[in-house]
Amino acid sequence: MTLRKTPLVVAGSAALLALSACSGGDQKAAAGGPITVEATDTACTVSATTANAGNLSFEVTNKGTKVTEFYLYAQGDRIMGEVENIAPGLTRKLTIEVPDAGTYQTACKPGMSGDGIRGAFTVTGGAGRKTDTNTQLADATKSYATYVASQSDALLTETQKFADAVKSGNVADAKARYAPTRTYYERIEPVAEKFGELDPAIDVREADLEEGQQFTGFHRLEKDLWVTGLQPDSGQIADKLVTDVTTLVNQAKTIQLSALDLANGAKGLLDEVATGKITGEEETFSHTDLWDFQANLDGSKAAIQSLRPVLQERDPQLVSEVDIQVKNVQTLLDKQRSGDGFKYYTELTQDQIREFASAVDALGEPLSKVAEVVAQ
């Protein structure tokens, strides 16, 4: 058949295709793929009841005997999206753009009638939270404070055990405990650094000692354990370490951090790695630098995680960038794992160190913009 379409039909087709093409929009990949909905004659099981604002994808499967419909309603039963004619056995997809945070309702309508089987659905982030940005920032600091508290508790417990091992002269046990214990400290280092004299007392390196400053803390014990053997005053140093850490932990729990502190902390931790850890100067006696490295990355990730809702709203591009670079650094670290921990720094080749350095620099790039975004 010769299909002599009239210009009008052609124009109509073109317009429709263009419409469907341009409204594709930028697909913000929902974490974990589409939300699945299992509809039966009596139930409507939605795999997730919360989602971030943006394009939500639903995949509705009808496992009942009646034809069903699926709706997403906003307040007052305003229809955000619907898919009709879901015959039994059929799976149909529905993508809905939901720009605003708020409370929504999902509904399956077996038999395509009535109000349907409703379920609450919460959408977070998005433009709807614009006015609420202070709450978001407060949530971020609250969530990070929880992280700091959990790490501090572990730090105190582990430091106590480490000190006990030193005092009982059990060198092997103390050596084994050294790096894992420091992990908790390194994770919250930006917070520790806020306490003036405490940080140097706990974490000073021998090379950085100032005139007349006593060499105390972790690194002093590190030297004793790995280089000189335990000294007569090692026990006192260990006791002092526990006292200092206890003071730090108590202060850390009461400190009021701002979102900006989190952002700067995330960046600070990475700078730590870039300037100190990557050179192998931090753990110059034990060579457990990669443990610190991992801990710094953990702390940085935790701060970003707390800030995520704010960042996601203000600069989603930046969040993806950070995520990608974090993953890169983590991949490199994972390659160097050995047993419960890592290889010693001295076992790394120059090439591997260079690789680390460039991955860390690449992560520092987007991290340095985080503070700016938070300060907006």
Partner 1 sequence: MLFSSLLIGLREGLEAALVVSILVAFLVRTDRRSALRWVWPGIAAAVVLSVGVGAVLTFTTAQLSFEQQELLGGSLSIVAVGFVTAMIFWMRKASKSIAAELRGKMDNALAIGPLAVLLLSFLAVGREGLETAVFFYAAVQSAQGGTTEPLIGFAVGIAVAIALAYGLYRGAIRFNLGKFFTITGVLLVFVAAGVLGYGLHDLQEAGFLPGLHTLAFDASAAIPETSWYGALLKGIFNYSQQTTVLQAVAWVAYVAIVLPLFLRRPAVKTTPVVAGTKE
Q: Give me the residues that bind partner 1 (CB under 8 A), please.
A: 1, 3-6, 8-9, 12-13, 16-17, 19-21, 23-25, 27, 55, 65-67, 77-82, 84-93, 95-97, 111-114
Which residues are CB-neighbours of 3 under 8 A, at least 6 positions away?
A: none
Question: Where in the chain does DSSP place strands (E)?
Answer: 35-39, 44-46, 50-52, 54-62, 68-74, 78-86, 91-98, 102-108, 117-124, 337-338, 341-342
Which residues are CB-neighbours of 38 under 8 A, at least 6 positions away?
A: 44, 45, 61, 63
Q: Whose Cβ is closer to partner 1: residue 52's or residue 55's?
A: 55
Q: Whose Cβ is closer to partner 1: residue 116's or residue 268's?
A: 116
Q: Whose Cβ is closer to partner 1: residue 114's or residue 339's?
A: 114
Question: Are the C-beta atoms of residues 190 and 261 closer than 8 Å to each other?
Answer: yes
Rounded Cα gap, residues 253 and 42, in angstroms? 49
**50-52/117-124 β-pairing:** parallel
Q: Find, among 320, 306, 307, 303, the residue nearest to 269 by Cα.
A: 303
Q: Whose Cβ is closer to partner 1: residue 112's or residue 127's?
A: 112
Please, what is the minimum distance in Å from the beta carbon of residue 216 to partner 1? 59
Q: Please give the C-alpha separations between residue 300 and each of 269, 303, 367, in angstroms, as whole numbers.
A: 6, 5, 9
Please, what is the minimum distance in Å from the beta carbon of residue 96 to partner 1? 7
Q: Whose Cβ is closer to partner 1: residue 110's or residue 268's?
A: 110
Q: Whose Cβ is closer to partner 1: residue 21's or residue 207's?
A: 21
Q: Whose Cβ is closer to partner 1: residue 111's or residue 229's?
A: 111
Please, what is the minimum distance in Å from the beta carbon of residue 70 to partner 1? 12
Q: Whose Cβ is closer to partner 1: residue 95's or residue 328's?
A: 95
In this structure, what token pair is assigned to residue 207?
């090379």
Rounded Cα gap, residues 64 and 22, in angstroms? 35
Rounded Cα gap, residues 274 and 124, in angstroms? 35
Please, what is the minimum distance in Å from the beta carbon of residue 24 to partner 1? 4
Which residues are CB-neighbours of 88 under 8 A, at least 6 positions away?
A: 62, 63, 64, 65, 66, 67
Please, what is the minimum distance in Å from the beta carbon of residue 111 to partner 1? 5
Please, what is the minimum distance in Å from the beta carbon of residue 315 to partner 1? 23
Rounded Cα gap, residues 185 and 189, in angstroms? 6
Please, what is the minimum distance in Å from the beta carbon of residue 78 to partner 1? 6
Please, what is the minimum distance in Å from the beta carbon of residue 364 to partner 1? 33
